[in-house]
Structure formats: structure tokens, C-alpha cells
Structure 1
Amino acid sequence: MIGCLIIHGFTGAPKEVEDIQNHFAGESWLVYTPELPGHDGTRESMRDADYRAWVYKAQVALEELMKRCDEVYIIGFSMGGVIAGYLAARYPVDRLVLISSAVFYLNPKQIAEDLKGWFLEGIRGELDQNDIYRFYREKIRRTPVSAAVEFTKLVKKLRHALNDINVPTLIVQGEKDGLVPVRSAEYIYEHIRSEDKEIYFFEEAKHYIWYGSDKEAFLKKLDSFLKTPAGSENDDKRSRKRHDEDSAAETIHF
């Protein structure tokens, strides 16, 4: 049986990656998305946040999957991608997917564009109808400074593990992500040791790639990576690709 550990992001919850979980659960995989400590959606719970507890919860979940399954994959989103990379460096997992992984965070240029758009919507009286704006507004309201400090500690402590990742890895990034800049994905690609690695960009996507029009293509890309038998593609697996190149150009190999 295939086991799949999905790790959600900072201030998030299993629900935010529910589409991914349901997609692979339908394949008769054993899919588990643990709720990281303090991530029950309340500000009070996040006040006592400790990044070590987040890592430990994911680690225990991985160990349980490894006991029960023949193959184990890890999918990490945002902060969960940092944790996923750390675990993949320490445990003999079979494949790794890093989505919008926050090795670096905040993209000032894209944030400015988003704020400009929200400002114009506010003038037109349409801002409260913007689901993305309301989503992030609530996240900010329920996130104490102490929790944000724990997030930065986690990134600083675990980022070094990238150098020890030697497992087939897919890195997926939205180019209009205001929270995680493109350079984060580039950094991961350049620093992991695996020769079997791919970095894939969605040109119009933001942080939650699958929340928009790219959802189908995003899930298809994950399928392609996780369901393709090992060794069935070209020997040179190091590649970079954008979603809009799929039908018009070949993968660029390095």
C-alpha cells in the first residue's frame, strides 16, 4: 500500500489541503494530514505555539505511515514544505512534493500588486466580496506575534536539511505568490542533492495554487510525478518547466 503524508502550512489546517487529500485518498492510498499543534483556528491556541511541536507531530505521523505502508510519499505545503524537506532528509521516504515551500517568505512586489487591487475593490465597495482578501484578513487576525516568531525559527533551523535530500522531488510554485517568492523554489532546486528533481511553475497562480483555475492542471502534475513508475522517464531527471510550456515546448534539461 502507498502511504501519503500531507503537511499543511502555518496558521492553516488539514482543511486547506483537503482537495489534495481527497484526490489521492480516491486512489486507495492511506493518506493522512495531521493538524499541527495550535492550528485549530483560534488565536488562543496559537499563543502557545512551539515549532518543535509542529515538527514532532509530523514526524510521528510519518513513522506511523512507514510502519503500515510499502511506499511513503510526503507532500508539504508552505511551512509544511519546510517540515517535509526536513523529514525527507532524515527518513527513507520514496518521493517528495514541495508546494509553495517557505524557505524564504514574502514577495514585496506581488504583495504591492495585490494591495493595489484590493484598494481599488475597496473604492468600488467590492472588497468584502473578495474571498481571498477575507481569507487572509482572518489569518492575520488570529495569528499572534509569538507564533510568527516560531515560524521564523522553524525556517531558520530546518532550511539546512535541504542539502541532505536525496529522494525524487517535485517543487511546485506559483509565480504570483505574495507569501513565498519564486526564489524560494529556485533555492530549494539548487540546494537539494537529488539528481531526480523537477521545478514546475504556474505563471498566474498565487500561494494556494489549487484554489484557482489551475487546480486541474496542478493535480494532474502531482499525478504525473507520484504515479509514474520509477525509472520510466529520461535518465536526466533534472528539469525546470512552466505550466504554459506543456503543450508548446519540451522540458528544458540541465
Structure 2
Amino acid sequence: MIGCLCIHGFTGSPEELAPLAAYLQEKTDWQVVVPTLPGHGNGATLEGISHKDWVAYAEKELKKLLSACDEVYVIGFSMGGLIASILAAAYPVSKLVLLSAAAFYVNPQQLYKDIKEMISDSFKGNLQGNEMFQRYKRKIIHTPFSATIEFRKIVLLVRPLLKKIKIPTFIVQGEGDGIVPPKSAAFLYSRIGSDIKKIHMEPGAKHLICHCENKEQIFQAIYTFLQDEG
């Protein structure tokens, strides 16, 4: 049996990866697991949560899959991509998929455009219909500064480990991402130690790559990569 661990992003939830998880479950008989990291999810708080808690929880979920499955893939979104990379450097994972992985954080030019659009929608009385506002209002309002520091620790922790990743890796990045700049994907591609790695830049796609307009084609590319024997 094949297992697939999907790890969501900072202040996010499994919903960030839900469309991809559903796609894989429909196409395969794999055991697809999308856990909620400590301090995330409805009613939870990030206050007092350490980056070590996030990594340890993902590690626990990975160990469950490794004990139950013949082969395990790990998919990580945003900060989850960094956690996935940490696991791939330390455990016998077969393949790694990084989605909008946050080796760098905040793309100023694109974020400026997104904020201008959000302000425009506010003046038009359409703020509640603005996708960025709906997706990120919880981050803006409820994220303690201490949690942001813990996120930064994940970024620093993963960088020296990238060269230890020797498994096939697929990196997907939206060119219109205002949260993670496109240079993050290029950085990961250059640093990951695998001889088998590919990168896909999606024109116009923003940070939530699994919810973008062209998501079905992206999912197909991920599925093909995971199915490939190479």
C-alpha cells in the first residue's frame, strides 16, 4: 500500500490541501492523510506552540504511515513544504512534493498588488468577497508574534538540510504568489540534493496553489510525478 502525508501551512488548515487530497483519493487507493498541526484549526491557538511541536506532530503522522505502508510520499504546502523537507531528509520517504514552499516569505510587489485590490474591494463594499481577505483575515488578526518567530525558525532549520534530500522532488510555485516569492522555488531547486527534481511555475497562480484556476492540471502533473517509476 502507498501512503501520502499532506502537510498544511502556517496558520492554515487541511483545507489548503483538500482539493489535492480529494483528487488523489479519487484516482488511487492510497492512504492519504492530512493532519492538523498543533495550534491550528478551529478554536485552536498558536500561543505557546513551538516549531518543534509542528515538526514532531508531522513526524508522528509520518511514522504511522511508514509502519503501515510499503511506500510513502510527502506533500507539503507553504510552511508544510519546509516540514516535509525536514522529514524527507531524515526518513525513508520515496518522493517529495513542495507546493508554494516558504524558503522565503512575502513577495512585496505581488503582495502590494493584492493589498491594493483588497482596499479597492473595501471601498466598493465588496471586502467580504475578496479572496485574500477571507483566506488571510485570521492570520492578520489572530496570529501571535511568537508564532511568527517559530515559523522563522523552521525556515532557518530547513536550509542546511536541503542537500540531504536525495529522493525525487517536484516543486510547484505560483508566479502571482504574494506570500511566497517565486525565488523560493528556484532556491529550493538549486539546494535540494536529489538528481531527480523538477519545477513547475504556474502563471498567475497565487499562494493557495491547490485552489487556483488551473488546479486540475497541476494535480494531474503531481499525480503523474508520483506514479512515475523513474
**Global fold match (TM > 0.5):** yes
- 1:195-234, aligned counterparts within 5 Å? 195-228=195-228, 230-231=229-230
| Distance of aligned partners of 1:61 and 1:36 in 2 relative to their CA distance in 1, 3 Å threshold | same
Larger Rg: 1
Could you state the TM-score of these two structures normalised by the residue count of structure 1? 0.87
What do residues 78-99 of structure 1 show as CA deviations (whole Å, max 9, x unaligned)?
0000010111111111110000
Question: Are 1:191 and 2:191 counterparts?
Answer: yes
- 1:154-169, aligned counterparts within 5 Å? 154-169=154-169
Which residue does 1:32 correspond to in 2?
Answer: 33
Paired with 2:64 and 2:123, the residues of 1 have a C-alpha distance of 52
Worse-matched range after superposition: 167-176 or 219-228: 219-228
Shift of 1:17: 1.2
Shift of 1:117: 1.5
Secondary structure at 1:39's aligned position in 2? coil
Shift of 1:199: 0.6
What do residues 189-214 of structure 1 show as CA deviations (whole Å, max 9, x unaligned)?
00111110001010110001121211
Could you state the TM-score of these two structures normalised by the residue count of structure 2? 0.96
Shift of 1:16: 2.1
Shift of 1:133: 1.6
Secondary structure at 1:93's aligned position in 2? coil
Paired with 1:207 and 1:225, the residues of 2 have a C-alpha distance of 21
Paired with 1:41 and 1:151, the residues of 2 have a C-alpha distance of 19
Secondary structure at 1:45's aligned position in 2? coil
What do residues 165-199 of structure 1 show as CA deviations (whole Å, max 9, x unaligned)?
10000000000101100111000000111110001
Paired with 2:131 and 2:186, the residues of 1 have a C-alpha distance of 29
Paired with 2:215 and 2:105, the residues of 1 have a C-alpha distance of 23
Worse-matched range after superposition: 157-166 or 199-208: 157-166
CA RMSD of aligned residues (A): 1.2
Which residue does 2:152 correspond to in 1?
Answer: 152
Matching residue's letter, 2:8: H
Paired with 1:160 and 1:184, the residues of 2 have a C-alpha distance of 15
Which residue does 2:73 correspond to in 1?
Answer: 73
- 1:1-254, aligned counterparts within 5 Å? 1-26=1-26, 27-42=28-43, 45-228=45-228, 230-231=229-230
Greater RCO (Cα-Cα under 8 Å, separation 6 or more): 2
Paired with 1:179 and 1:88, the residues of 2 have a C-alpha distance of 24
Paired with 1:212 and 1:157, the residues of 2 have a C-alpha distance of 29
Percent identical among aligned pairs is 44
Paired with 1:151 and 1:145, the residues of 2 have a C-alpha distance of 10
